[in-house]
Chains A and B, each alone.
Chain A
Amino acid sequence: MMLKSSVVAVIATLVPVAAHAQATADDPMSLQSDDAQWVIPAKNYSATRFSTLNKITPDNVKNLKVSWSMSTGTNQGHEGAPLVVGSTMYVHSSYPNNVYAVDLAKDAAIKWKYTPKQDARAVPVACCDLVHRGLNYAKGKILMSTLDGQVIALDAKTGKELWKVKNGDPSKGETITAAGLVVKDKYIVGISGGEFGVRGHLTAYDINNGNRLWRAYSTGPDEELLLAADFNAANPHYGQKGMGTSTWQGDAWKRGGGTTWGWYSYDPALNLFYYSTGNPGTWNPDQRLGDNKWSMTIWARDPDTGMAHWGYQMTPHDAWDYDGVNESILADLTIEGKKVQALVHFDRNGFAYTMDRTNGTLLVAEPFAHVNWASKIDKKTGRPVEDMSKRTRQGAVTKDICPNAMGGKDQQPAAFSPRTGLFYVPTNNMCMDYEATEVKYTAGAPYVGANVTMKPGPGGDLGEFIAWDATTGKKVWGIKEKQPCWGGALATAGDIVFYGTMDGWFKAVHAKTGKLLWKQKVGSGIVGAPMTFLGPDKKQYVAVYSGVGGWFGLPVSQDLPSNDPYAALGAVGLAYKNGLDKATTKGGEVYVFALE
């Protein structure tokens, strides 16, 4: 195994320039197997964020030093990772979504900069900081989405716009923060804005001209959900046709949420595209009795047609904002002696799901964080066994719900190493109280809403970086962190796992033991996901964004006053109490590290 991956890495070092020149091989499918490059957000379609590069090892990682860094020019949260295509790094920033092409062969000189013209109305409707989760490369193009709902293709060589289309209307609360994913000739993108009653959807655009090819809604009639004839054939109890409207009351599905702002994955052999949907709208569960399908759902769709072959709803009738958008990582595992084409998903609701990705069958579902809203997932029915005293209701006080609305894990993407068979998961350890109603005001009219108090989970540390065995549903090791683990993970064939913390430490730990091997303080807290590549000098580099933000980091990235603890949906109170403002300051930068 070790030998084989070394060979792959060596070959890979020779390939990039040649591959880049050949138009036929210039697609993400071909390029992702070259570990010198990183051309799509999660490294590969399986979303493992695993690289076979192994020059950085547990023995030499102590010599890792900052090679260079660069400001992105913006101060809000920096989620996602830069790309490397050939000898160019593509760097993105938070709003207004600057893109820089950086020449790795010429001392990181900037080849071009692009800033999309955006509709500033998107700014006030963005939910949780003005983040942007990154870019895609395909066939000489950089594909991106913008906060104000545009989908744009740039010429990767020049930064010139090739086409742009509108995927969302910010004046109706629709924004885009997700990176999307290119599959074949399609750029598949989602939408944010569940808090405004946006009806979620996933849309495919032709990368050559921006033509819209299909759109699949998360709620509503079957013809708009795009359900295949064999939808949920293997697991009819997950739900059938007609339920996109029948599990709602009246017209509530029209503002039913189920937005699609997470990370996506794809299995080329099965030709299935995986993503999941967010919380149902509106926020008050009493106003939408029923399961509210297909919010909170892991979907498998045919990317050519958009038709869904299976869908599994994790949190029926959500009452906690356990936005189900987290990534699904594809890995082939052995469970009870049987080889399984698995999909592994760490949900905001605190449960880690291991499923058969061919048909959605649930194999393992265990809590990876402290969970008390449900005791377990009933594998026969696929439904959580709820503690009804933890269900929130308008006008009622519900105390000590775990996890809190930020979830056992938020957007921060996990990684999987086929060498250890383990998943590396940045997690949160927080609980919440739903408090009595508070007077609100919009457009001349008063109404009442809930206040949410965020608080530490058991033990008091707000985060833990864990290694997880998805075949048994058990934690193998964990590293406690004072702040929530809001940055993503990277696993390498050097058996090192990299992750960053919100207090601004970038860390390397041993993949097998979790032993801390190296750390470096960077300019601002990390909510981005590390990546690795080979430079033109054939050295292995590791890059990560620094730039605190996102929901929990919002108080710092936007200087929210500490005297309003409920602001940022309760993040302000806990972030200041936990000293985030004393641990870091705002500011977007990309850091690139190499062995000295």
Chain B
Amino acid sequence: MMRDSLAVALVFLGAVSSPALADDAKELKVCGDPSNLPFSNEKREGLENKIADVLAKDLGLTVAYTWWPHQRGVVKRVLNTGRCDVMLGIPKGYDPVLWTKPYYRTGYVIAYRKDRKLKIHNLDDPQLKTLKIGVQVNTPPHDALGQRGIADNVVGYQLMFDSNYHAEDYPGKLVEDLLAGSVDVALVWGPIAGYFAAKQAAPIEIVVLEDRPDSSTPFAFDISMGVKKGNTALKDKLEDSIARRHDEIVHILKDYGVPLLPAADDKARGKGAR
């Protein structure tokens, strides 16, 4: 247990597509996951690929990718070694990197097929004691189920997968299984569920889980970009660019069906959704 916090700084001997020694001033060097929609893939179909294009255009740069699965070690082996300079969507507070001001906020959701008419609005719905629930192992909703003693009817999905070799095991598999009927309910990261609804017209209900004041386990997270610790120049540049291109970025997020929540700051000041 607890090994998820292991930071391994290893000499990785595998072959990866690494950009040639590029002129840093002309490229936005992105650490991209080669196969993890809706976020990113090598065909540049993900929402982060689109956001990268917007920022690069704004900064007068071209996008250059180092493709590397966003699994354990990505920061140590590609970001910190300078093979790429930015990870486009990491949770604010993710300690291995220097994070920008968050540029959107989203959360875990309850998803189920519309034709099931389940009308589940929160995790205390008694139906969750008997329905077959798919959930990503170790994520906040998995914890929340554990705290409610709900486990016998839970099917665990791993976030750990190798997009080079087992691309089919990507996190979206949970929503595919929901659509196929092998689970009744999916507790899944919002952008994944939203993508299936928005981009693939999947007939699913999506209910955003609300943070509970009595729990230290949050369901909603601020999403930032991440650069190597100490790279404040790029951080500042990205923050300025994000501010300039805010509307375009929000448009992309909405286009991909990301359930957008009020920014934590806005919420504190009582503002509505942006």
Contacts and interface: CB of A to CB of B under 8 A. Distances in A.
A binds B: yes
Interface of A: 96, 120-121, 123-128, 130, 171-173, 194-197, 249-252, 254-255, 279, 281-289, 318-321, 394-396, 405, 436-452, 554, 558-561, 564, 566-570, 572
B34 to A, nearest CB: 12
Contact of B139 (A130, A172, A395, A447): A447
A498 B3 CA distance: 32
B221 A437 contact: no
Max chain A CB contacts within 10 Å: which of B5, B9, B40, B170?
B5
A172 B161 CA distance: 7
Contacts of B215: 395
Contact of B5 (A249, A251, A444, A452): A452
A373 to B, nearest CB: 14
A566 B5 contact: yes
A448 B217 contact: yes
B189 A195 contact: no
Max chain A CB contacts within 10 Å: which of B10, B77, B189, B217?
B10
B2 A123 contact: no
A194 B4 CA distance: 11
A585 to B, nearest CB: 16
B2 A449 contact: yes
Nearest to B217: A395
Contacts of B149: 289
B138 A284 contact: yes
Contacts of A396: 216
A126 B91 CA distance: 25
B166 A283 contact: no
Contact of B154 (A250, A318, A443, A560): A250
Nearest to B170: A443
B6 interface: yes
A123 B151 CA distance: 33
B7 interface: yes
Contacts of B165: 121, 171
Contact of B171 (A440, A443, A448, A570): A443
A284 B144 CA distance: 11
Max chain A CB contacts within 10 Å: which of B2, B71, B138?
B2
Interface in B147-173: 147, 149, 151-156, 158-166, 170-171
Given A286-B143, A395-B215, A558-B8, A446 B138 contact: no
A558 B147 contact: no
12 contacts: A121-B165, A124-B10, A172-B162, A196-B158, A250-B155, A283-B1, A287-B143, A446-B90, A447-B138, A567-B5, A569-B2, A569-B3
Given A284-B146, A395-B215, A445-B189, A124 B8 contact: yes
A567 B6 contact: yes
Contacts of A437: 216-217
A438 B138 CA distance: 13
Given A286-B146, A437-B216, A448-B217, A443 B159 contact: yes
Given A121-B14, A436-B216, A442-B72, A250 B4 contact: no
Contacts of B93: 438-439
B262 interface: no
B248 to A, nearest CB: 21
7 closest pairs, A vs B, by CB?
A283-B1, A249-B151, A195-B3, A286-B146, A446-B91, A567-B7, A120-B14
Contacts of A171: 162, 164-166
Interface residues of B, number: 68
Nearest to A397: B216
A123 B72 CA distance: 11
A560 B80 CA distance: 12
A72 B160 CA distance: 33
A443 B140 contact: no
A124 B77 contact: yes
A294 to B, nearest CB: 17
Given A96-B13, A252-B151, 10 more contacts: A121-B162, A127-B6, A173-B160, A197-B137, A289-B146, A436-B216, A442-B159, A444-B70, A445-B159, A568-B7
Contacts of A279: 1
Given A124-B73, A287-B151, A445-B189, A440 B5 contact: yes
Contacts of A250: 151-156
Max chain B CB contacts within 10 Å: which of A124, A195, A251, A446?
A446
Interface in B1-50: 1-10, 12-14, 33, 36, 39-40
A442 B140 CA distance: 13
B250 to A, nearest CB: 19
Interface string B129-147: 0000000111110110111
Interface string B167-181: 000110000000000
Contact of B39 (A128, A196, A284, A444): A444
A255 B137 contact: yes
A447 B90 CA distance: 11
A564 to B, nearest CB: 6
A316 B192 CA distance: 36
B60 interface: no
B257 interface: no
B191 A444 contact: yes
A394 B143 contact: yes
Given A124-B77, A125-B72, A284-B138, A446 B162 contact: no
A284 B151 contact: no
Contacts of B170: 443
Contacts of A451: 5
Contacts of A120: 12-14
B96 interface: yes
B167 to A, nearest CB: 11
A125 B241 CA distance: 36
B235 to A, nearest CB: 17
A123 B70 contact: no
B102 to A, nearest CB: 11
B194 interface: no
B5 A284 contact: no
A444 B151 contact: no
Interface string B98-138: 00000000000000000000000000000000000000111
Contacts of B4: 195, 283, 440, 442, 449
B95 interface: yes
Contacts of B36: 443-444
Contacts of A568: 6-8
Contacts of A283: 1-4, 138
B92 interface: yes
A558 B77 CA distance: 12
Nearest to B15: A120
A124 B155 contact: no
Max chain A CB contacts within 10 Å: which of B6, B10, B12, B154?
B6
A394 B217 contact: yes
A269 B36 CA distance: 55
A106 to B, nearest CB: 33
A454 to B, nearest CB: 11
A196 B73 CA distance: 14
Contacts of A321: 1-3
A566 B9 CA distance: 14
A554 B76 CA distance: 14
A571 to B, nearest CB: 9
A556 B264 CA distance: 40
B94 A441 contact: yes
B69 interface: yes
Max chain B CB contacts within 10 Å: which of A195, A445, A449, A559?
A445
